[in-house]
Amino acid sequence: MISLQQVGKSYGSAKILDDISFEVQPGEKVSILGPGGCGKSTLLKLLLGLEKPNSGSISLLERDMVHASENEKQETLRRVGMAFQQGALFDYMTVNDNIRFAMEHMTDLSDDEMEQVIDDLLLSLKLPRTKTMFPYELSGGMKRRIGIARALATDPVVAIFDEPTSGLDPVTSTIILNMIKELGQKDESRTLLISTSSVEIAIRFADRIILINEGRVVDDGDWRKMMIDGDDWVRHFLSVRLIGIDIEYARELGLPDEFIKKHW
């Protein structure tokens, strides 16, 4: 479904990504986790063919995204849902038209079917009254939620979310995560990726974490094992952001007993 092999990306003398390699299988849910500025957003741009790497190979839905023509990229991206960190809404379109635009270009739904999808998504996001509003009338958090609704509206084979809960309150963050998870439950072959700097969001979303630091993959696997068996940096990065939370919430998150006994 997704394959990156020895991918490198630099801007001038600044190396952003260095020898990135991983694969994601159909139906997998994966969190790409790392501190701010580690290269996560650049990685997503390369995966989507929005930029080209300096080295390595990238395959998305069996398409070589490094050497594909623009038409071939667009054909592949019709099957991909993407929600960018800032929402990336069209300012001159209403919320309804922003979501509809994606469906018109990426699905074969009828007008009535598209309207029903939009109504259902906005209701689930608790934003039913925003349908006729323009982006300038929305808060930053509302724009983020509309951007995610647009990504979900196309019923994608692969859905990718860049910092989907950044800057959102806990209640809205939970709504967003649940929506994304439900997308995967509707079709077990659907692949879901989120990119986040939040350890809590990463572990709530997926068992598998691809942990990136300074442009390199420093660990890849089940986050519970990382917490116990990872190297010093990995264990510190994961634990320092969780120590101090309520012990019952720690158990709800599924933190390993060994970790809880050590820190609580």
Q: 224 pLDDT exceeds 90?
A: yes
Question: Three-class SS of residue 246?
Answer: coil
- Of 255, 252, 229, the residue nearest 241 (C-alpha): 255
Question: Three-class SS of residue 227?
Answer: helix
Q: Helix (H) and strand (E) counts for the chain?
A: 11, 10
Mean pLDDT within 177-183: 80
- Express as a percent the part of the chain with pLDDT over 70: 98
Alpha carbon distance 102, 150 (integer Å): 7
Mean pLDDT within 96-114: 90
- CB-based contact 180:159 (threshold 8 Å): yes
Alpha carbon distance 235, 193 (integer Å): 22
- Express as a percent the part of the chain with pLDDT over 90: 60
User: pLDDT of 35-60, one tens digit each?
Assistant: 988 999 899 999 999 999 999 999 99
Q: At what angle do helices 95-106 and 111-124 cross, to 10 degrees?
A: 130
Tell me the two tokens of residue 192.
């879901």
- CB-based contact 73:65 (threshold 8 Å): yes
Alpha carbon distance 51, 66 (integer Å): 9
Q: 66 pLDDT exceeds 80?
A: yes
Global confidence as pTM: 0.88
Q: 177 pLDDT exceeds 70?
A: yes
Q: 188 pLDDT exceeds 80?
A: no
Lowest mean pLDDT segment, chosen from 123-127, 182-186, 212-216, 254-258? 182-186
Alpha carbon distance 176, 181 (integer Å): 9
* 27-29-35 Cα angle (round to 5): 155
CA dihedral 184, 120, 160, 141 (to 10 degrees): -130
Distances in Å between the alpha carbon of 36 and those of 152, 163, 165, 214?
Answer: 25, 10, 14, 10
- CB-based contact 250:260 (threshold 8 Å): yes
User: pLDDT of 112-168, one tens digit each?
Assistant: 999 999 998 898 878 899 999 999 999 877 888 888 888 888 888 999 999 888 878
Confidence (pLDDT) at 176: 82
- Of 65, 41, 35, the residue nearest 52 (C-alpha): 65
Which ranges in the chain belong to alpha helices (H)?
A: 40-47, 70-77, 95-106, 111-124, 140-153, 170-186, 199-205, 223-229, 232-240, 247-253, 257-263
Confidence (pLDDT) at 87: 59
Confidence (pLDDT) at 199: 94
Confidence (pLDDT) at 149: 85
Tell me the two tokens of residue 61.
């839905």
- CB-based contact 43:17 (threshold 8 Å): yes
Mean pLDDT within 180-203: 86
Confidence (pLDDT) at 155: 85
Q: How confident is the model at residue 28 (pLDDT cuts 50, 70, 90)?
A: very high
Confidence (pLDDT) at 40: 93
- Identify the burial level of 58 via C-beta atoms within 10 angstroms of its C-beta, where 0-12 means exposed, 13-18 middle and 19 or more buried: buried
Alpha carbon distance 74, 37 (integer Å): 28
Confidence (pLDDT) at 71: 93
Q: 86 pLDDT exceeds 70?
A: no
Rounded mean pLDDT of the chain?
90
Alpha carbon distance 75, 188 (integer Å): 23
For the chain, domains (ranges, CATH) are 2-79+157-263 (3.40.50.300)
Mean pLDDT within 188-199: 91
